[in-house]
């Protein structure tokens, strides 16, 4: 037998159940030219679990003598650096005024009020 016993078989069954949802969803999701972020949101928990499993597999390949709290903290900081940078950039981008707000400010400053037709 190739696996590590009953626990390994159970893990494979869980992966197959998850893939039974994710793969058809991604296939249908990929059929459309125009997609929206809200359609990708149901996949976020699956991606998070997959990332955690990948990190766990990487951690288990590190020899015991090289494992330490500092290595784990450094690895966590490295893994979280890119998403944190992206979040910071998105926040700074969204905090700037958009085109409509800039146009409204320009109109307030430069537009000459028209004479009222009722007077």
As a whole-number percent, the residues of the chain with pLDDT over 70 amount to 92
Average pLDDT of the residues in 13-24: 90
Task: Give CA–CA dist 54/51, Å, rounded.
Answer: 5
The CA angle 95-97-101, to the nearest 5 degrees, is 145
Which residues contact residue 40 at a Cβ distance below 8 angstroms, ignoring those fewer than 6 apart? 29
The predicted pLDDT at position 12 comes to 86
Tokens of 94: 């969204």
Radius of gyration for the chain, computed over Cα atoms and rounded to the nearest angstrom: 26
1 compared with 47, residue with greater pLDDT? 47
As a whole-number percent, the residues of the chain with pLDDT over 90 amount to 10
- pLDDT, one tens digit per residue, over 78-100 is 888 988 998 999 899 888 888 89
Task: Give CA–CA dist 53/38, Å, rounded.
Answer: 25
């Amino acid at each position: 037998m190739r696996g590590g016993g009953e626990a390994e078989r159970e893990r494979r069954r869980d992966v197959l159940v998850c893939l039974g949802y994710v793969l058809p969803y991604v296939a249908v999701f990929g059929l459309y030219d125009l997609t929206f972020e809200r359609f990708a949101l149901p996949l976020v928990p699956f991606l998070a679990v997959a990332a955690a499993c990948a990190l766990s597999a990487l951690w288990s390949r590190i020899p015991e003598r090289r494992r330490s709290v500092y290595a784990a903290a450094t690895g966590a900081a490295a893994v979280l650096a890119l998403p944190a940078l992206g979040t910071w950039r998105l926040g700074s981008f969204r905090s700037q005024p958009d085109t409509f707000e800039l146009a409204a400010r320009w109109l307030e400053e430069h537009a000459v009020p028209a004479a009222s037709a009722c007077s």
